[in-house]
Structure 1
Amino acid sequence: MDDDDNDDEAALGAPGPAGGDTVIHTRALTKRYRGGQLAVDGLDLAVPAGSVFGFLGPNGSGKTTTIRMLMGLIEPTSGTARVLGHPMPRASRAVLPHVGALIEGPALYGFLSGRDNLLRYDAADPTADPRTRRARVAEALERVGLTAAAAKKARAYSLGMKQRLGLAAALLQPRRLLVLDEPTNGLDPQGMREIRVLVRELAAEGTTVFLSSHLLDEIEQVCTHAAVMARGRLLTQGPVADLAARARGRLTVTTPDTADAARVLKEQGVADVVVTEDRVTGEPADRELSALNAALVTAGVRVRGFGVERASLEDAFVALTGEGFDVAG
């Protein structure tokens, strides 16, 4: 280890809540592969300390490439990335002991039990205290609900159980940052709920959680902040509530006079008007909602209900990318 790495490790100190305003910060981070493929293009990302940060993007958006650069697995073509206040990948030996990660599914020894896999993982960590190894492995198994299956061979685990075991490996030591790539992949609804609870608990303990997921509903339920990627570029980032608020919700009019209501709304500039039984919905025009309601009443439409539904994170995503959400990233 060179002097710079020694300095970095000393500055990081013991694991615990990360200091400063951000735990991940990139500036103009770029990755271009051979043949000219631009996977990540000038990414400026800021992940607040103590947040649960959702990383979203359609297929080929550059999410996994970004995570690999943040973890020091691949070198950026240009730009900079700092994790826990230190440059990556140069300070990776100092930073990574304070980071738990589950990226693209766990790598497991199928012939070993779940418990023995974790013991092997822990033994490979030079910072891990062997005197407390078995106790920490037992605690990690308990946190992800695998205590009853701890003696079973990993090759007999379901996909969801393997995901749980990979998460347990990331939790063997206290972490300042936890990086999760599709953490609920393969889990049933109950397993998803348990992972949500665990993520919230970790955040409450001071761990910053950075996760990518294709489940927008999951992101909306568990994340405090999010970023949206498309075609290698960052489209937006910020608090989840603010991102959803930027997308206009759909105007909904409840009336027995749906045909007349649809005609009036179109005349008033409302787009994408849809009629369903006693309800008419559409994209609000750039005018006061009270004026739209007045136009309906003046035209003799019997308005039984009128309002704009709250936009969801999915609405914001579609508005930003112009496409639906694809699973891979």
Structure 2
Amino acid sequence: MPAPPAADQGRATPHAEHRVIETRGLTKTYRGGRPAVDGLDLAVPRGSVFGFLGPNGSGKTTTIRMLMGLIEPTAGTARVLGRPMPGAVRQVLPRVGALIEGPALYGFLSGRDNLRRFDAADPAADPRTRSVRVGRALDRVGLAAAAGKKARAYSLGMKQRLGLAAALLQPRELLVLDEPTNGLDPQGMREIRALVRELAADGTTVFLSSHLLDEIEQVCTHAAVMARGRLVTQGPVAGLTAAVLGPGGHGRLAVTTPDPADAVRVLKEHGLTGLRADGDRVTGELPEAPPDGPAPPDPAELNAALVRAGVRVRAFGTQRPSLEDAFVRLTGEGFDVAG
């Protein structure tokens, strides 16, 4: 079969039209080391807010740098907005806003003048409307009042906001954010989350790398987990926990009682595992529902069993499994997943 005409090379295939990012066997090996990214097959749906998670050294930042054409892969392929990277970098990057590994700013310039400099470097930017774009971007990230201040005097959180403003100077089909809430106070984090939701509602796909699992749960529709350079799992956030922890969800029961030893004994008899007593607080994992077996005990029945056994119950409740639970189960690593 003859090769397609040159004009058709790099054109999105029908299935790729629904994926803003797609990789096949993407691999990066540095000289003398194990692969930093090893055979990555990633699929980011158009219109999603996609969370990218992984422990230190898992390959997240290396993956992002390959997707943006900053480094070349050792093997495999990457397509962004339907075009091959890094080959189509000049066609793709004008449609992408990115904040990777913190913003690079001119400390001697004001926040406003930094944005004007960035905008002037964009060949597609109309200089006649530059001031409007810059003012709008500053407003969106809450820096309008500090626009005249030198960037070197900005706090870490303010610098992060300014980097995000630079990524928002033009409408983007894809926004790639590496730790966008780094250095922000709780109010600033809420504002950035609200901005991400607003951008997604306007049709921008957001690819978000974060070490805050709670942030991923709050704002992302889809997520992927990396560990030791390999993709562990990916899919809708709502389904990841159930897929990893099972249909029973491995929900946790928490009981406050002055009789913790008796509570542990009774709950163990009813099938709870991972029981721990910390002072007057007892926690344990609820059993899964086997496919063909009896249903797990109802929390109300467990409470009644404790009372019948003479355990004095001061507080009783269940906790749904979190993305953190699933993450630890998948990677065997703790909560610090920046990297």
Instruction: Provide TM-score, normalisation by structure 2.
Output: 0.86
User: Following the alignment from structure 1 to structure 2, what is the Cα–Cα distance between the partners of residues 154 and 77?
Assistant: 37
Aligned-partner residue type, residue 157 of structure 2: G
Q: Is the 8 A contact 1:261 1:296 kept in 2?
A: no
Report the alpha carbon displacement of residue 256 of structure 1 after superposing the two structures with TM: 6.1
- Residues 33-88 of structure 1, C-alpha deviations (whole Å, 9 max, x = no match): 10032101111111111111111111000000000010011111111111111111
Alignment of structure 1 residues 166-245 onto 2, 5 Å: 166-245=163-242
2:326 to 312, 316, 323: 316
Report the alpha carbon displacement of residue 179 of structure 1 after superposing the two structures with TM: 0.1
Report the alpha carbon displacement of residue 216 of structure 1 after superposing the two structures with TM: 1.1
Is 1:289 the equivalent of 2:299? no
1:157 to 1:284, Cα distance in 2 relative to 1, 3 A: same
Q: Is the 8 A contact 2:253 2:318 kept in 1?
A: yes
Alignment of structure 1 residues 93-104 onto 2, 5 Å: 93-104=90-101
User: Following the alignment from structure 1 to structure 2, what is the Cα–Cα distance between the partners of residues 111 and 194?
Assistant: 27
Where 1:285 maps in the other structure, the secondary structure is coil
- Residues 288-322 of structure 1, C-alpha deviations (whole Å, 9 max, x = no match): 32289479839942576766421111111111111
User: Following the alignment from structure 1 to structure 2, what is the Cα–Cα distance between the partners of residues 291 and 137?
Assistant: 57
User: Following the alignment from structure 2 to structure 1, what is the Cα–Cα distance between the partners of residues 174 and 194?
Assistant: 17
- Bigger Cα displacement from structure 2, 230-239 vs 254-263: 254-263
Alignment of structure 1 residues 130-149 onto 2, 5 Å: 130-149=127-146
Report the alpha carbon displacement of residue 170 of structure 1 after superposing the two structures with TM: 0.3
Unaligned runs of 5+ in 2: 290-294
Is 1:72 the equivalent of 2:80? no
Q: Is the 8 A contact 1:71 1:96 kept in 2?
A: yes
Alignment of structure 1 residues 1-329 onto 2, 5 Å: 20-245=17-242, 246-247=244-245, 248-253=250-255, 257-276=259-278, 279-286=281-288, 288-290=295-297, 293=301, 297=305, 300-301=308-309, 308-329=318-339
Q: Is the 8 A contact 1:8 1:94 kept in 2?
A: no
Q: Is the 8 A contact 1:250 1:309 kept in 2?
A: yes
Aligned-partner residue type, residue 240 of structure 2: L
Where 1:20 maps in the other structure, the secondary structure is helix
- Residues 156-178 of structure 1, C-alpha deviations (whole Å, 9 max, x = no match): 11111111110010000000000
Aligned-partner residue type, residue 280 of structure 1: V
Q: Is the 8 A contact 1:144 1:164 kept in 2?
A: yes
User: Following the alignment from structure 1 to structure 2, what is the Cα–Cα distance between the partners of residues 130 and 50?
Assistant: 30
- Bigger Cα displacement from structure 2, 242-251 vs 81-90: 242-251
Report the alpha carbon displacement of residue 148 of structure 1 after superposing the two structures with TM: 1.3
- Residues 269-296 of structure 1, C-alpha deviations (whole Å, 9 max, x = no match): 5332112466532123345322894798
Report the alpha carbon displacement of residue 228 of structure 1 after superposing the two structures with TM: 0.8
User: Following the alignment from structure 2 to structure 1, what is the Cα–Cα distance between the partners of residues 304 and 144?
Assistant: 62
User: Following the alignment from structure 1 to structure 2, what is the Cα–Cα distance between the partners of residues 115 and 187?
Assistant: 20
1:190 to 1:299, Cα distance in 2 relative to 1, 3 A: closer
Aligned to 2:292: none
- Residues 8-45 of structure 1, C-alpha deviations (whole Å, 9 max, x = no match): 89x79xxxxxx932101111111111003210111111
Where 1:262 maps in the other structure, the secondary structure is helix
Q: How many residues align?
A: 319
- Bigger Cα displacement from structure 2, 69-78 vs 244-253: 244-253
> Percent of counterpart pairs with the same letter?
75
Aligned-partner residue type, residue 315 of structure 1: D
1:295 to 1:127, Cα distance in 2 relative to 1, 3 A: closer
Aligned-partner residue type, residue 205 of structure 1: D
User: Following the alignment from structure 1 to structure 2, what is the Cα–Cα distance between the partners of residues 171 and 54?
Assistant: 19
Where 2:124 maps in the other structure, the secondary structure is coil
User: Following the alignment from structure 2 to structure 1, what is the Cα–Cα distance between the partners of residues 31 and 41?
Assistant: 23
- Bigger Cα displacement from structure 2, 290-299 vs 31-40: 290-299
1:138 to 1:273, Cα distance in 2 relative to 1, 3 A: same
